[in-house]
Amino acid sequence: MELFRFIVASGENEIPVVAVAEDEETAFRVVDAEVQRTFLKRLKVDGIALVEKKKIHKNGAGFVIQTRKAYE
């Protein structure tokens, strides 16, 4: 399993999303499903960008979520 960090673009908003999946294709599907499930009104997604991925080891894995301006 791998840990994936995405940025979902919707209009002026950028939403950080983290997913756990076996591969990138599955991770993108997980992100799309979670975004649509989270918001009451169906969100118009302009794009989904994979920012980072890490292998999950026995000791775990994690990301520090920073605003986009902080790492560009």
pLDDT of residue 42: 83
What is the end-to-end Cα distance of the chain in Å, rounded? 28
Domains recognised in the chain with CATH numbers: 2-71 (3.10.20)
Q: Residue 20: what pLDDT?
A: 97
| 36/30 Cα distance (integer angstroms) | 10
pLDDT given at position 28? 97
Residue type, 4: F
Report pLDDT for 69: 63
Q: Do residues 54 and 2 make contact, with C-beta atoms less than 8 angstroms apart?
A: yes
State which residues of the chain have pLDDT below 70: 68-72
**pLDDT for residue 71:** 55
CA distance 22 to 2: 6
Phi and psi at residue 44, in whole multiples of 5°? Answer: -85, 110
pTM of the model: 0.83
